[in-house]
């Protein structure tokens, strides 16, 4: 998961920063830092990605025709 995908996932689920913080146990500052492309521990990124995946988000890798993205798989 890259920063753009983190932003897309939150937007796709119509969640606020506080919603994600409550669901993950991460601080809003940490989520903001990740979404802006800042450094984060691998375990922190896994926590955030796992939360989004549990909500139905699928992270899509870049291919030749499009960049990385997300989709909702409910």
Predicted TM-score (pTM) of the model is 0.91
Cite the beta strand spans of 6-73 per DSSP E.
57-60, 69-72
With a cut of 70, say whether residue 4 has pLDDT above it.
yes
What CA–CA distance (Å, rounded) separates 2 from 9? 11
- Bigger pLDDT: 63 vs 39: 39
Kindly state the average pLDDT of the residues 40-48: 96
Closest CA to 20 of 53, 52, 59: 52
Domain 3-72, CATH class in plain words: mainly alpha
pLDDT score at 66: 80
């Amino acid at each position: 998961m890259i920063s753009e995908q983190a932003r897309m996932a939150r937007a796709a689920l119509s969640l606020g920063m506080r919603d994600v913080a409550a669901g993950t146990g991460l601080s809003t500052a940490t989520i903001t830092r990740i979404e802006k492309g800042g450094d984060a521990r691998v375990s922190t990124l896994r926590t955030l990605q796992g939360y989004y995946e549990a909500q139905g988000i699928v992270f899509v890798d870049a291919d030749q025709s499009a960049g990385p993205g997300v989709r909702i798989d409910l």
